[in-house]
Amino acid sequence: MINQHVISIDPEKFKVINLSDYTTWGIGGPSASVVVRTENELVDTVGFLNEESIPWIVLGRGSNMLAPTEGWSGVVIFLKGHFSEYFFKEERLTAGGGAHLPSVAGAACTKGLAGLVFAVGIPGTIGGAVYMNAGAYGSSISDFVEKVRVFHSNGLIEYLTPEECGFKYRFSSFQKSDSIVLSAELKLFKNQKSSKKLRREVREILQLRRLKFPLHAPNAGSVFRRPDFGPPPGKLIEDNGLKGYTIGGAMVSRVHANFIENTGRATSSDVMNLIELIINEVEKASGITLVREIRKLGEQI
């Protein structure tokens, strides 16, 4: 399934990777990939791939992503270099699309800037967090976003306001486009809490997450979105007796039923079959149709 064409054009630039090494589920076969470090490199690369009609996707830390076991015939783009950087100016934070969210959130706390404590345990990038409107404990990244620098695949680079990003619960308009988050500017706030207190909150959150989530096994966080009404997905799944239910190497976590663990040799089909089964069982029992939060590589909703 690897795109041999693109590799043969420039084997120095386009490398074969195993997607299982780049997703937190540890699932996925071979794919072509490219690392870009500057906006110019990204613009050139996307322009070239579009001209060649080769599908592409930007992958962050793969912490919300199911990649096909049989591999992918497109090109996975990684944002590194300039895109991994972040800096603070008073209460404002500018972070590249490839910056590691827990590191950025931790650095903000160390500076005594509040707001991002919720994000210290979300193992993605700034780009992935904006795309997913990641959140926890009643806060989402959109609560702090002032503007987002984006690259539209027609070549245009511009800043979008939060309204233009169409943020909703675990949703942004990026999920319906192929625009790339280059960086985000966030407005945090100084409050009475010292950086020492913020760091204590960070430790408490990380401890809580270690207890509540199956961090011992490869997973991709919550599989389903919280429905608009009714109990949370974990409760609905648990009430159906599905904790521990296994298909192939994919198992409904015994620690938190809204997580699916890769017990060792799960394939992407195992995970998808388990997801379908959960949706059907929960729908039969409660009338609630669970909606997937995790993304399948290459899909657009």
Ligand X SMILES: Cc1cc2nc3c(=O)[nH]c(=O)nc-3n(C[C@H](O)[C@H](O)[C@H](O)COP(=O)(O)OP(=O)(O)OC[C@H]3O[C@@H](n4cnc5c(N)ncnc54)[C@H](O)[C@@H]3O)c2cc1C
User: Which residues sit at the interface with ligand X, rule CB under 6 A?
Assistant: 24, 57-65, 79, 97, 122-125, 127-129, 131-132, 134-136, 174, 180-181, 213, 215, 219-221, 295
For 221-265, give the DSSP string.
S-SBPPPSSSS-HHHHHHHTT-TT-EETTEEE-SS-TT-EEE-SS
Contact 193, 100 (CB under 8 A): no
What is the C-alpha separation between 233 and 265, in angstroms, rounded? Answer: 25
Which residues contact residue 200 at a Cβ distance below 8 angstroms, ignoring those fewer than 6 apart? none
Cα dist from 13 to 4, 29, 77, whole Å: 13, 20, 11
Question: At its nearest, how many Å lie between ligand X and the CB of residue 213?
Answer: 6
**Nearest Cα to Cα of residue 58 among 298, 218, 268:** 298
Rank residues 124 and 234 by Cβ distance to ligand X and give the closer one: 124
Please give the structure tokens belonging to residue 241: 């007796």
Question: At its nearest, how many Å lie between ligand X and the CB of residue 285?
Answer: 26
Question: At its nearest, how many Å lie between ligand X and the CB of residue 194?
Answer: 25
Contact 76, 32 (CB under 8 A): yes
Contact 113, 186 (CB under 8 A): no
Question: At its nearest, how many Å lie between ligand X and the CB of residue 96?
Answer: 9
Rank residues 97 and 115 by Cβ distance to ligand X and give the closer one: 97
Rank residues 2 and 79 by Cβ distance to ligand X and give the closer one: 79
Rank residues 112 and 206 by Cβ distance to ligand X and give the closer one: 206
Residue 191 phi/psi, 5-degree rounding, is -135, -165
What is the C-alpha separation between 242 and 286, in angstroms, rounded? Answer: 14
Which amino acids are annotated catalytic?
Answer: 170, 222, 293
Question: At its nearest, how many Å lie between ligand X and the CB of residue 296?
Answer: 9
Rank residues 136 and 206 by Cβ distance to ligand X and give the closer one: 136
